[in-house]
Structure 1
Amino acid sequence: MKPLPPVLWLQAFEAAARTLSFTEAGNELGVTQSAVSQRIRLLEDRLGQKLFVRHPRSLTLTPAGQAWLPSVQEAFTRLAEGTAEVFGPHPEAPVTLRATPVMQQTWLVPRLLEFHRTQPQVAVHLVSAIWTEDFGPEGADLEIRYGRGDWEGFEAHSLGAESMLPVCSPEVAERLHSPADLAGETLLHALGFAVGWPAWLEQAGVPGLDRQCPSITCDNQVTTLTLAAQGGGVALTHDSLLARRDDLVAPFSLTVPSDERFWLVRPLRLRWRQEAGLLWDWLMRFAD
């Protein structure tokens, strides 16, 4: 078996491949951009293949780099988990909680503030993630994920069934008396949800109406809700999250159930800390 490349080279590759920037990778690793570039060049020489395509102002991964990245990330994840299992985290390390931005702004913030009032000695590090792949490779003590709850290697508890419904500003709602009135309105789409506008419109009895509407598509629900609140269109959101928004109203009562929902999640393989357990127990009060 050939010896593995030095860890510093692997770290440089993982950071650069994740950020697609030698500069950002250097900032993350605490070294210069040129140091990252040199380590990547040495790594490519060792492997005998290019890992990046270098454009004038950007980077892309080669097919070999794309294929190798998951293995490198998994190796670092296993190493971090194994270290935590055997030695435990630093006793003063904060509890890392990862969640989607919309969940942070609506459901999580009031509960986290109340937890802080009762357990001020527990430091919490809140990290944002949008897509499922954003939940790694860096470890987190707890996570609030969106999906079907079928993640291997994790304990997951539902935070309640979810349904989707349209929301908009009060001014826009004044001209929406039935779903058919959405014709010509801007529909705001958030990617990554099983129930989107086509599904809701079909249940409302106006299938295909979205083809008569301008649209703006965003990669997260926070942006679509912000646009909707400013009169920029009509967005879909989870009915459980609407109660804490005083700048949005639901023009229609129809909700469409989804088989996806938010889950309180923790990895099974990590050594459990008392501080993380306190936050887990607090949030579990709100699980099904």
Structure 2
Amino acid sequence: MFLIAIIFRLGNRLQMPKKAPITGKVLPPLDYLLAFEAAAKAQSFAKASKVLNISETAISRKVRLLEQHYDVPLFVRGHRSVSLTQQGAILLATVEKSLDLMRDVSRDMLAKHQANTVSISATNSVASLWLMPQLRKFNKSNGRIRISLVSSDSDAECLSDSMDLTILRGDGDWPGYDAQLLFGETVFPVCSPEYLKNNPTVTSLTALPELDLIEVTSSHAEWMTWHTWLNGNDVSTSLMERAVAFNTYPLSIQAAVDGLGVVLGWAHLVDPLLERGALVRPIQDVSVRTQSGYYLLKNPTQKVFPELRIVEDWLLGLSAVRKRYA
């Protein structure tokens, strides 16, 4: 009795240990829950593997790791099928609701992104030489934003009401549109490194009229030609002969890259080709700067949506970091 009394008194003095708090990650990885849901609905790891397009071994492993996470069995394994335990059935009821809610939200977000395609129109030169080299980087960072690009040298087509943004060359005055300058118009001769090597006189300004000059035939009367550029630099054009003419500027640039002659290069449009060495400036520090430029146009009455703002900010950001020409 004495011994029992002592033990009883000591027991009264002992404090019951507190329940240890849960530490670590409470939520398991999402792929464990997806595997569990698929296996529970199909009542088979093999069928679940076909639903999720992963191996049966991967399904089994993810379910096993989920059971280890909760430290309870979730399935009763059969020969070719599985059935939920009581704990598994309780977990499935909540997991299904949660995953269905996430699927609905994701579906709505994707539908909104896909519906709000941003339409951009631009001249052939800007579309192929300035925009296209930049689109790959944009798509990597904004994969859910779809851009529809229309390339045309017709101002009327570019200013169609169906366009969200337009890039055109001019003086900045388009009635009914907000215009923001992207870059100015600085023009200088460019040619391929091979053409420069085979025609060393291309480095002489006065020798240009006697060389293979590539021209662009444009319906825009204000478009700068070799006559205009040479006269602006006090060079006689009496001996000038055209090597070849193209109806679009991108074709003339490609001809220069292929070594057919010398073409007038618009700064910013030919910058990527100069940077990678496909074209060179045979006469450094000689150029003509006009009062025109390339502007981003937007109708202020049109509907503004998030994707449009993102694309507009991206284009203005490209303008902000552009190379500056005197």
TM-score by length of 1: 0.62
CA distance in 2, matches of 1:134, 1:232: 32
Specify the code of the residue in structure 2 equivalent to 1:125: S
Contact kept in structure 2, 1:194 and 1:260, CA below 8 Å: no
* Structure 1: 5+ residue stretches without partners: 1-88
- The DSSP-based 3-state class of the residue aligned with 1:276 is helix
2:119 pairs, out of 96, 102, 113, with 96
2:282 pairs, out of 240, 245, 251, with 251
CA apart distance, 1:240: 2.1
CA apart distance, 1:106: 2.9
User: Deviations for 1:185-234, whole angstroms, at most 9, x for unmatched residues?
Assistant: 2322222354321222123331324x531343323210111111112221
Aligned residues: percent identity? 26
> What's 2:97 paired with?
none
CA distance in 2, matches of 1:214, 1:110: 29
CA distance in 1, matches of 2:154, 2:264: 18
* 1:276 lines up with 2:308 in the alignment: yes
Matches of residues 105-254 of structure 1 in structure 2 within 5 Å?
105-137=128-160, 139-174=162-197, 175=199, 176-190=202-216, 191=218, 192=220, 193-209=222-238, 211-245=239-273, 246-253=277-284, 254=286
- Using a 3 Å threshold, how does the CA distance of structure 1 residues 212 and 141 change in structure 2: closer, same or farther? same
CA distance in 1, matches of 2:171, 2:312: 20
CA apart distance, 1:125: 0.8
CA distance in 2, matches of 1:268, 1:249: 40
CA apart distance, 1:122: 1.1
Tell me which stretches of 4 or more aligned residues in structure 1 moved more than 4 Å.
none
> What's 1:264 paired with?
296
Superposed CA RMSD in Å reads 2.3
Q: Which has the higher contact order (CA 8 A, sep 6+)?
A: 1
CA apart distance, 1:235: 0.9
Specify the code of the residue in structure 2 equivalent to 1:173: L
CA distance in 1, matches of 2:228, 2:205: 13
CA apart distance, 1:262: 1.1
CA apart distance, 1:107: 2.3
The structure that has the greater radius of gyration is 2
* Structure 2: 5+ residue stretches without partners: 1-111, 321-326
TM-score by length of 2: 0.56
